[in-house]
Amino acid sequence: MNIDVAKRIPLITLVGPPNSGKTTLFNYLSGKNFKTVNYPGSTVEYYTCKIQDKYNIDANLLDSPGIISLNPNSPDEEVTVNSLYNHPEFGVPDLVIATADASQLSRHLLLTKQLLTAGFRVLLVLTMRDLLEKKGLKVNTDKLSKLLRCDVVIVNGRTGKGIDELITTIERNLKEIDTKNHSEPYSISDQLSKENLLNLYSEIESLTRAVIEPIDFPDLEKVNKNIKILNPVLQEPSLQPDLFTLKLDKVLLHRKYGLLFFFLIMTTMFTSIFWLADPFMTLVDDFFSYLAQTSSAFLGNTWYSHLISDGLISGTGSVLVFLPQILILFLILGLLEDTGYLARGAMMIDKPLSKIGLNGKSFVPMLSGFACAIPAMLAARTISNKRERLLTIFIIPLMSCSARLPVYVLLVAFLTPSDKPWFGGILLASIYVFSIISSIIVASLINKFSKKLIRTEDNSSFILELPAYRIPKLKVVLKNSYINALHYIKRAGPIILVLSLIIWFLTYMPNHSPQIDTAGLNQQEIIQLEKSERLATSYAAELGKSIQPIMTPLGMDWRIGVSLIAAFAAREVFVSSLALIFRVTDDENIQSSLLTAMQNAKNQQTGEPLFTTATVIGLVVFFVFALQCISTIAVSRKETGGWRIPMLQLIIFTSTAYLFTLITVNGLKLLGIN
């Protein structure tokens, strides 16, 4: 009897190639009682849980990122493979459940064969049998079990059929472990030569031919006549692609129209994130504004009242306001991935993105960045290559997110003549075009220095398996969207909240009860003037005055500096900060009043107009490049596993913004545009 096994709770590890149904199986076995943690010493995430109580199996279940084989192709895959041999927390698995797509058996059996060769106790679960049956074929599981010398179970991921047999098989395997000695698995790295792999593939192909059987010969012949084989070498019926997939790919992967469909689908997704989430975000924002106002009215005009209403409640609101976007993003990404299209989209856009060191999977996060950098960085999790994932996260803040729009609208309104409103539209469009071109150039430059900036070697090539199209499993997609949203709240939320409180402290203290002349003012005007005076005498203002030497070369004074500091809470705060500093109290038409205040404002050092064409265009340039968002920094820290990359982003992008603003303002002045 193995004493070690008897003393501890058995560990079952789930492994399998991407898109092999591993996550679906994990959800069936775990229910909702699982948690996500980082692999010790890395940012690789995996799930752990106990098997659901109703199955009466006392065992830990571990799910890690998908791998194609025991030959790691990236640092992340290496971590996953190493965890199989000796997980730092759980040790060596007592049982490995390997998933394999029955319709892709010749490729997916490689991992199973390697696991068996390495000495793991393996239970093979075949999924997606329905796709194989559409070709008129089936797998002889008894024969496959004998040839592999391990148990084989078929599970239908859509209906759950086969789970009971799987549970019975797991129970039997665990009992056998209790009663028989088993050896520790050993490394097969010395067997991973090209020749050995070719021999292994040859053996798997023979095995596949032996276990794939036709369901009905006459129908099979009919189907075979109609199937068009992409690769003429693949003559085995089991290797032939799905007929429906072939037909759809003819359209969606068309050399010319394929890109058009791709951009249409991506635009729809982007628009959905941008517009569909907007009313829900407004609801969340309104709810927290109501809470803040109610608590302020209840607690009175005191510093602790402002701490709770403006600091805690508004800070919590700034965390939760992104939830609708995150939910919609992951819902759409899940649907696209489950249907099999996401892999095809990544393949189509891979070539142009490879020019700047990225791959096709980077496109969706970058596109999402135009809505908001927060969900965009979370979407980068789909990129398996660590270096490319970190590089994508690095450049996402350069995408012009929706939070920049209020700033752009104000600055464009300042530049637009009142009798030429169409000019504003052209200016706004030009800003976005400029933002995209600049982002590509900066991304190319960052890619050149990525070895020093990212510090992650990753020699993997871009390998994508195109799964057959299938109907997405809505329940699984919804559950994964919920889990991702929960992770955002749990991990990024506390950091965003703390940083929001710091910003509140800097903009509120020390003169939290300013003395103002209230004669002839209504209550609303008194509150606005108090806020204005408080901000003008705050630590943030002191900080703004201390950076006056930095603002002077830009033709700006400390008041704009304070607004830029306050905008770290969120870019759109820049507008409200300017309104406070210039004592704009007209709530009915704040933009018009603010524009008038800006046109009349004088530089306190030079006495010249503060806002000119040159300085306003300079501010536009600054907001195109600067990382003015605490939430983005917090999420970047969480997704990259440390403060190094977010700090580099902050320093590099803010320095770039300052340099280009300096060149823009002074260059325009030299040209006589001021």
Written as one string, the DSSP assignment of 606-652 is T-SBSS-HHHHHHHHHHHHH----HHHHHHHHHHHTSSHHHHHHHHH
Residue 240 within any structural domain of the chain: no
For residue 32, the 8-state DSSP code is T
Contact (Cβ atoms closer than 8 angstroms) between residue 325 and residue 273: yes
pLDDT band at 6 (very low <50, low <70, confident <90, very high): very low
The response to whether 476 counts as a known ligand-binding position is: no
Q: Which whole number is the average pLDDT over 174-200?
A: 73
19 belongs to an annotated ligand binding site: yes
Claim to verify: residue 580 and residue 449 sit in the same structural domain: no
Q: Is 259 helix (H, G, I), strand (E, B) or coil?
A: helix
20 is in an annotated binding site: yes
Question: What number of residues does the chain have?
Answer: 674
Q: Indicate the number of domains in the chain.
A: 3
Residue 218 clears pLDDT 70, i.e. is over it? no
Query: What's the pLDDT band for 273 if we cut at 50, 70, 90?
Result: low
User: Which tens digit of pLDDT belongs to each residue from 426-476?
Assistant: 887 788 788 878 877 877 787 777 666 666 555 445 555 667 787 777 877
Give start and end residues of each alpha helix (H) in 118-216.
Answer: 129-133, 141-148, 163-179, 194-211
Annotated binding residue 460: no
Establish if 466 belongs to a structural domain: yes
Residue 519 has pLDDT above 90, yes or no: no
The pLDDT value given to residue 227: 47
Query: Does the annotation place 42 within a ligand binding site?
Result: yes
Walk across the sheet containing 122-127 and list its strands.
34-38, 45-50, 60-63, 11-15, 95-101, 122-127, 151-154
Confirm whether residue 60 is marked as ligand binding: no
Q: Is 63 annotated as a binding residue?
A: yes
Strands, E assignment, 503-626:
none
- Report the distance separating Cα 639 and Cα 645, nearest Å: 10
248 part of a folded domain: no
Q: How many Å separate Cα 631 from the centre of its chain?
A: 14
Is the model's pLDDT at 231 over the cut of 50?
Answer: no
- Does 438 share its domain with 540? no
Look at 498 and 84; give whichever has higher pLDDT: 84
Q: Is 340 annotated as a binding residue?
A: no
| 447 and 593, same domain (yes or no) | no
- The pLDDT of 4-15, averaged and rounded, is 74
Would 414 be classed as within a structural domain? no
In a domain, 413, yes or no: no
Same-domain check for residues 661 and 632: yes
Residues 476, 509, single domain; the answer is: no
The closest alpha carbon to 89, from 139, 51, 39, 127, belongs to 39
Give buried/exposed letters for 614-648 (b at 16+ CB in 10 A, else e): bbbbbbbbbbbbbbbbbbbbbbbbbbbeeeebbeb
369 in Cβ contact with 376 (< 8 Å)? yes
- The reply to whether 16 sits in an annotated binding site is yes
Give the range of the structural domain holding residue 560, as residue numbers without chain letter: 505-514+523-671
Q: So what's the pLDDT on residue 125?
A: 93
pLDDT of residue 398: 87
Q: Is the pLDDT of residue 528 over 80?
A: no
Residue 447 within a domain: yes
Spatial contact of 637 and 672, defined as CB atoms under 8 Å apart: no
Confidence of residue 230 (pLDDT cuts 50, 70, 90): very low
How many Cα atoms within 13 Å fall on the side-chain side of residue 558? Answer: 17
> Which of 195, 213, 231 is the last residue before a domain boundary?
213
Consult the annotation and say whether 78 binds a ligand.
Answer: no
Smallest CA-to-CA distance from 662 within 632, 617, 629, 627 is with 617
Residue 345 annotated as binding site: no
Same domain, 339 and 372: yes
**pLDDT surpassing 70 at residue 232:** no
Q: Is the pLDDT of residue 44 over 70?
A: no
Task: Considering only residues 541 and 274, tell me which one the structure prediction assigns the higher pLDDT.
Answer: 541
Say yes or no: 207 and 307 in one domain. Answer: no
611 belongs to a structural domain: yes
Residue 428 lies in a domain: yes
Name the strand (E) or helix (H) holding 38.
strand 34-38
Is 0.95 topped by the overall pTM? no
Instruction: Examine the domain organization and report whether 304 and 372 are in the same domain.
Output: yes
What is the mean pLDDT of the segment spanning 557-561? 85
Q: Any known ligand binding at 31?
A: yes
In this structure, the answer to whether residues 320 and 446 fall within a common structural domain is yes
Looking at the fold, whether 509 and 481 belong to one and the same domain comes out as no
CATH code assigned at 207: 3.40.50.300
- What does residue 11 show for φ and ψ, rounded to 5 degrees? -110, 130
Specify whether 481 is located in the same domain as 510: no
**Does 27 show up as a binding residue in the annotation?**
yes
Give percent of the chain above pLDDT 90: 9
Residues 58 and 190 in one domain: yes
Is 103 assigned a ligand-binding role in the annotation?
A: no
Q: Is 41 within any annotated ligand binding site?
A: yes
Q: What is the pLDDT of residues 568-600, one digit of tens each?
A: 777 777 877 777 777 665 555 666 777 888 888
Name which residue leads in pLDDT, 22 or 484. Answer: 22
In terms of Cα–Cα distance, which of 372, 352, 350, 370 is closest to 361?
Answer: 350
Q: Is residue 30 marked as binding?
A: yes
Q: Are 128 and 139 in contact (CB under 8 A)?
A: no
Q: What is the CA radius of gyration of the chain?
A: 30
